[in-house]
Amino acid sequence: MKIRVLGSGAGGGFPQWNCNCDNCRRIRTGDMNAKARTQSSIAVSTDNNNWLLINASPDIRAQLEAFPAIHPKHGLRDTGIKAVLLMDSQIDHTTGLLMLREGKPLDIYCSEMVKQDLTTGFPVFNMLSHYCTVNHHPIPVDGSSFTIPAIADLRFYTQAIKSKAPPYSPHRHDPHDGDNIGVVIEQISTGKKVFYSPGLGEIEDHVMSAMQAADCLLIDGTFWTEDEMIDQGLGKKCASDMGHKAQSGAGGMIDILNGVSNARKILIHINNSNPILDEDSEPCKILAAAGIEIAYDGMEIDL
């Protein structure tokens, strides 16, 4: 299985259009050893031809152009994207659907809760129905599995996880199973598994089990500290208020990953405020010492 990181940044990307924080300012002035990052999305394939897009970021146009394997190859209109899977209904994961409106009917796999948000508060499915057809495929939120016809040799296990519905959702302060999911993607012919969860606020037992059984983890790397946004004067919300588990501190993501033995460990969905973006920073060294990698745009993982 091949995984292409289309976008490794959190909402806003890096640098964020209106942000003059230490990181955003320094990458613009060239005073930082860092990579710019577009917003959160990956693509998965087993034949390098037929791709599942997981999340559709507002940066999708540039992300697809930067990735030849997904370009149109046959006839006048074509794409390597055969289906879309959504992890939640957050703006950074769904607004890119609007950019796919010129295409054929879109096969979109998402939970009932995500479908509700995308037909009410942010009615992108309704809007797209005036441009192309949306075929919504409901997915399990109890960890059971499904397959996607056009994406051969992969099996998907989707399960509700604890993070946050978007601020526009009626579920923001009234959580329901399926507002956010984690996915285990298994290649049927090899048994290799990746666990993907770009927004992960709590590590429940079923999440730990999925992580222990995976060969590779691509998980929430949004914030280094719980109070990062507040400390930098960028906002009023803690990491946990936004449904993200910070990396540092007791019980943080590094501690949790230290308890996972075999998997390749990769952080994804990095917010522009996160000091790990500075490749010469102390936090970056701490991650390296813990055997934890940081995803970047264009990263490819072969499993």
Kindly list the residues in this chain that would bind ligand MLT in the complex (CB under 6 A).
10-12, 90-92, 199, 242
Q: Is 277 in the site for Zn ion (CB under 5 A)?
A: no
Strand 181-187: give its sheet, edge to edge: 142-146, 154-160, 181-187, 193-197, 216-220, 264-268, 292-294
Which partner from the list Zn ion, ligand MLT, Mn ion, none does 242 bind, CB cut-off 5 to 8 Å by kind?
ligand MLT
Per CB under 5 A, which region of 22-30, 103-111, 114-122, 254-262 contacts Zn ion? 22-30
Nearest distance from residue 253's CB to Mn ion, in Å?
Answer: 15
Nearest distance from residue 42's CB to Zn ion, in Å?
Answer: 23
- CA-to-CA separations, 55 to 18, 183, 268, in angstroms, rounded: 24, 12, 13
Interacting residue with Zn ion among 21, 85, 181, 211 (CB under 5 A): 21
DSSP code string of 168-237:
TSTTTTS--TTSSEEEEEEETTT--EEEEESS-----HHHHHHHHH-SEEEEE---SSTTHHHHTTS-S-
Q: Name which of 23 and 187 has its Cβ closer to Zn ion.
A: 23
| Closest chain position to ligand MLT (CB) | 11
Q: Name which of 180 and 281 has its Cβ closer to ligand MLT.
A: 180
Q: Is 10 in the site for Zn ion (CB under 5 A)?
A: no
Nearest distance from residue 203's CB to Zn ion, in Å?
Answer: 27
Which partner from the list Mn ion, ligand MLT, Zn ion, none does 24 bind, CB cut-off 5 to 8 Å by kind?
Zn ion
Nearest distance from residue 30's CB to Zn ion, in Å?
Answer: 16
